[in-house]
Chains A and B, each alone.
Chain A
Amino acid sequence: MDEPSSAEQRSLVASPVRVVSARASLRTRLANLIERRELLFSLITSDIRIKYKGSALGLFWSMLSPALTLATYYLVFSVFLKNGIPLFVVYLFAGLIVWNMFQSAVSSATGVIVDRAGLVKKVSFPREILALSNVGASVIYFVIQVVVLAIFLGIIGHAPAWSFLWLLPISFLALYLLTASIAVVMSAITVYLRDVRHLMDVVLQLWFWVSPVVYSYENSIAPALRIRGLTALYFINPMTPIILTFQRIFYVNTTVRSTTTGLPLHILPAWSMTTFAVVNLGLLAFAVVLFLVALVIFGRLEGNFESEL
Chain B
Amino acid sequence: MTNVIEVEDISKRFTIHHERNQTLKERILHPRSGSSEIFDALSDINFTVEQGETLGIVGHNGSGKSTLLKCICGVLKPTTGQIRLRGNLAALLELGAGFQHELSGRDNVYLYGSMLGFTRKMVDAIFDEVVAFSELEHFIDTPVKFYSSGMYVRLAFAVAVNVNPDILVVDEVLAVGDERFQAKCIDRIRHFQREGRTILLVTHQADTVRAICDRAIVLDHGNMIADGPVTDALRIFRGRLLGDVVDHRPGGTGVVTIDGLTAPSGSFEVRHGGNLHFDATLTCDHAVSGNLVIEVFTRTGLLVSRNDAEAAPVSLRPGANKVGVDLTGVPLLDGVYDINVGLVEPQGATMLAWREKAASLQVLYDGRSSGVVAIELSVTQW
Enumerate chain A interface residues (CB-CB to B < 8 A).
1-4, 6-9, 11-13, 15-23, 35-36, 38-39, 41-43, 46, 49-50, 53, 118-119, 121-125, 192-196, 199, 302-304, 306-308
Contacts and interface: CB of A to CB of B under 8 A. Distances in A.
Interface stretch (B56-64, B73-81, B223-231, B235-243): B73-81
Contacts of B100: 46, 50
A303 B77 contact: yes
A21 B27 contact: no
Contacts of A12: 2, 4, 51, 86-87, 166
Interface string B91-134: 10110011010110001001100111111100000100100100
Most central of B74, B77, B100, B126 by chain A CB within 10 Å: B77
A50 B145 CA distance: 12
Contacts, number: 141
Contact of B129 (A4, A18, A21, A122): A4
B164 interface: yes
A13 B16 CA distance: 40
B74 A124 contact: yes
B132 A2 contact: yes
Interface stretch (B191-199, B259-267, B303-311, B314-322): B191-199
Nearest to B36: A307
Contacts of B93: 122-123
Given A12-B2, A193-B27, A307 B16 contact: yes
A122 B97 contact: yes
Interface residues of B, number: 62
Contacts of A4: 126, 129, 162, 164
B84 interface: yes
Given A53-B103, A192-B22, A307-B14, 11 more contacts: A1-B184, A19-B83, A20-B82, A36-B117, A38-B114, A39-B115, A49-B102, A119-B98, A121-B75, A303-B77, A307-B16
Contacts of B116: 123
A307 B15 contact: yes
Contacts of A308: 22
A3 B81 CA distance: 39
Contacts of A192: 22
A195 B85 contact: no
A18 B132 CA distance: 32
A3 B115 contact: no
A16 B86 contact: yes
B52 A9 contact: yes
Contacts of A15: 86-87, 166
A122 B94 contact: yes
Contacts of A9: 51-52, 166, 195-197
B171 to A, nearest CB: 10
B29 to A, nearest CB: 13
Interface of B: 2, 4, 14-17, 22-25, 27, 51-52, 71-87, 91, 93-94, 97-98, 100, 102-103, 107, 110-111, 114-120, 126, 129, 132, 143, 162, 164, 166, 184, 187, 191, 194-197
A46 B75 CA distance: 22
B98 A6 contact: no
A10 to B, nearest CB: 8
9 contacts: A9-B197, A17-B86, A21-B83, A39-B117, A43-B111, A122-B93, A123-B93, A193-B22, A195-B25
A121 B267 CA distance: 55
Nearest to B188: A1
Contacts of A41: 114
A125 B88 CA distance: 13
B164 A53 contact: no
B56 to A, nearest CB: 20
B24 A195 contact: yes
Most central of A2, A42, A196 by chain B CB within 10 Å: A42
B256 to A, nearest CB: 40
B49 to A, nearest CB: 11
B78 A20 contact: yes
Most central of B75, B80, B107 by chain A CB within 10 Å: B75
Contacts of B114: 38-39, 41-43
A93 B14 CA distance: 50
A42 B97 contact: no
A307 B17 contact: yes
A196 B168 CA distance: 39
Contacts of B15: 304, 307
A222 B162 CA distance: 63
A11 B77 contact: no
Contact of A20 (B23, B52, B77, B91): B77
Contact of B77 (A1, A2, A22): A22
B129 A46 contact: no
A122 to B, nearest CB: 4
A20 B195 contact: no
Contacts of A49: 102-103, 107
B110 A124 contact: no
Contact of A38 (B84, B98, B120, B166): B120
A11 B103 contact: no
Most central of A46, A123, A192, A199 by chain B CB within 10 Å: A123
